[in-house]
Structure 1
């Protein structure tokens, strides 16, 4: 029986894979310990989204290799750039996440222990519905790690969701590199069916859909929006990374959508839902982005007014097509990022200000700082309830709150 320590960086998909690693290790009779020094093996699940992240991953791997007897590195950076760990003289095995439990168990047959607890992240059950994507973006290195979409059957994912609900999950996060193309490897578009069936599971819980590229969602936008409109269990929230407001830049990025298709998705959800949250991403300073292209991105941001915006400065990823393009100056990228981030704060602040004075039904998802809890309303907007202990409020509760204020990125609520 081995003891293990696991650290996870990056997206919810990575966290879901770490939870599955832990489940299989626990089912095999292995147990977690408080830190790497006490562990027989340390597992580092890596991210490789930007260059700074890579440096952090290498530094953390070097630290862990000194602190533990055995180190396994997995995740996106391990699969896309595994050679960097050897070049940095990090003493570690570099493995696909599915091979990690076997490596830890040295090939022995699992011996489940009685009373093995279901793997949850607090009140949140993470449900990775597929791995990989159907895109070939010119700037993306993650595709080298994840490959093409591989979709388990709908029934299999529904049973995983059911198990999470029965284990006590009050929020299920449907995750993947691109949830919108779930089922494409089987020639079908299965996301609406999956969400419909998950929402039919008995129990009081909420479902959040993870990132879905516009290219995959556009063809199912009406069917998908109808599913959102039908089910109260679905947060009225969708993450559609547009990346640029310029069709020329989108073509150079090799994105599989145009701006008008992104807008058609937004319009469809506007028609079906009274209130919903649009989350999107922009990359500023792509090598071919002109001043006019940037202005188009700013215009799109102000037109659709998404309530959650991720602004990323372009950084070259080794082995990608965009890495060979002549880049823009660092000051240009900094200035464009600063302008877009300022507009973002204004838009998001207006959205939360509009909530003040209204009453909302919220789910308490996790503990906050001090004596507070973080909640989500039906549109997945964040609401902070303070003095939680005195009010008898804890994660997993559903309650009605009055919105009393806001702080740009979240609102404050009092139970009513």
Structure 2
């Protein structure tokens, strides 16, 4: 029996796919590199945005039409968020819910034999120190917790991932230690909200970061997305932990809007002033910080004045990475009951912000031209050369280096998305 796994979405979802592959591998089920080779195709779905929903829906339908001899299994967020639609487009498709990964082999075996098996529902099953199978030995993803404490009106992911479930620091550190021994040189700590880690268990994110960073070996730690409201009570200790030389000078801190009114209507749980205070503290303590932000363009209650405040905020904080999303209704989300703003207005605002985004990020990257950077080489470039990361987690193109090595480079050119360099 041969299985192909196709994954969509975030780092957390990618780690889920690695767990599914690990469970199958432990049960002597082969993982293959293409649909054509497979007896069964697992589509590991993301449902955070409408375009991604459309992609996974189309793929599930296409697989059934183009490969009627192959079995299809759907995993990921769609299973919990939109089972009605999933059943409609794939009445003979089996399911593996995001909390039922340990049952992956049972679902695959039964599906191969012609049964339709649907494992879903919530569980406190740990996703740390479980079998994983990955094609990237240099980057190791560890899910530190699942679920969140938020009630954001625009989000449907929380319906799939459930309430917060933090995993023990000791287990996370042990998995990181083993990964480093096996050759990993980047440890990614991921969650729907890493700042919520330990709020249910009494442990702290700052302690977790320090314990992982203090492991022996040459590696870097990347801390995933943090909800601003959950940093507020531990900001100083998190900053102290992230000053460790093995931790990337990188923080992903979504803001979504520059308007306090819109943030309140989104139920984000913090103000612009609080957000700016967090950013100011991080930048004062970590001068080379890369700040990544998320912005939702055209939330249903966003006025021209609200949008102007978002533009003003971005020009003020000058993030090095800006992720823009046009607002769209999501299944079960509270804001889906509101009337969307006209599409032409949203398109105009998105285009304007995209231009601002490119100006800001290129301007920030150009400040690094002429500097010397120590970079970690992580992957081969699709157009030649290698892709490395600076200590601030900025991508750098470099030639003639060894994967997994730390090298010194001089930055020679900057674009809005990456740097070019020459080896020293």
Does residue 162 (structure 1) correspond to residue 177 (structure 2)? The answer is yes
- Residue of structure 2 equivalent to 1:45: 44
Supply the distance in 2 between the matched residues of 1:261 and 1:46 (Cα, whole angstroms): 34
Structure 2: 5+ residue stretches without partners = 112-130
For 1:110, the equivalent position in structure 2 comes to none
Shift of 1:318: 2.2
Contact 2:149–2:164 (CA<8 Å) still a contact in 1?
Answer: yes
Does the CA contact (< 8 Å) of 1:287 and 1:327 recur in 2? yes
CA distance in 2, matches of 1:80, 1:395: 39
Show CA shifts across 1:255-293 (max 9, x none).
121111111111111121121100001101001111111
Structure 2 residue matching 1:364: 3-state secondary structure: strand
CA contact (8 A) 1:80 1:141 kept: yes
Please list the CA deviations of residues 184-233 of structure 1 after superposition, one character each: whole Å capped at 9, or x if unmatched: 122x351111110001111100111111110111211110001112x111
What's the CA shift string for 1:111-165, capped at 9, x where partnerless?
xxxxx99635241111111111110111111111001111111101111111211
TM-score, normalised via structure 2 length: 0.91
Q: What's 1:149 paired with?
A: 164
Q: Are the counterparts in 1 of residues 21 and 133 from structure 2 also a CA contact under 8 Å?
A: no
Change (3 A) 1:241 1:362: same
User: Structure 1 residues 14, 260: CA separation in 2 closer, same or farther (over 3 Å shift)?
Assistant: same
Q: Deviations over 1:334-356 (max 9, x none)?
A: 11111111111111001111111
Q: Which residue of 1 aligns with 2:142?
A: 127
Q: Does 1:104 align with 2:104?
A: no
| Other structure's SS at 1:94 match | strand
Residues in 2 aligned to 1:34 and 1:227: alpha-carbon distance in whole angstroms: 39
The equivalent residue for 2:361 is: 348
RMSD: 1.6
1:371-397: CA deviation from partner (whole Å, max 9, x where unpaired):
211110011111111xx3xx3x13201
Alignment of 1:50-89 (within 5 A): 50-66=49-65, 67=67, 69-89=70-90
2:196 to 178, 181, 197: 181
Q: Please give the alpha-carbon distance, in whole angstroms, between the structure 2 residues aligned to 1:127 and 1:395.
A: 21
Match of 1:257 in 2: 270
Rounded to whole Å, the distance in 2 between the matches of 1:101 and 1:310 is 36
TM-score, structure 1 normalization: 0.93
Q: How big is the shift at 1:105? A: 4.3
- The one of 338, 351, 358 aligned to 1:325: 338
Is 1:376 the counterpart of 2:382? The answer is: no
Separation (CA, whole Å) in 1 of partners of 2:380 and 2:168: 34
Cα offset for 1:95? 2.2
Q: Which residue of 1 aligns with 2:126?
A: none
Equivalent-residue separation in structure 2 for 1:118 and 1:3 (angstroms) = 15
Deviations 1:49-78 (A, max 9, x none): 221211111110112234253211011122
Distance 1:133 1:341, change over 3 A: same
Q: How many residues align?
A: 400
Helix, strand or coil: the match of 1:36?
Answer: coil
Tell me how far 1:6 sits from its aligned partner.
0.3
5+ residue gaps, structure 1: 108-115
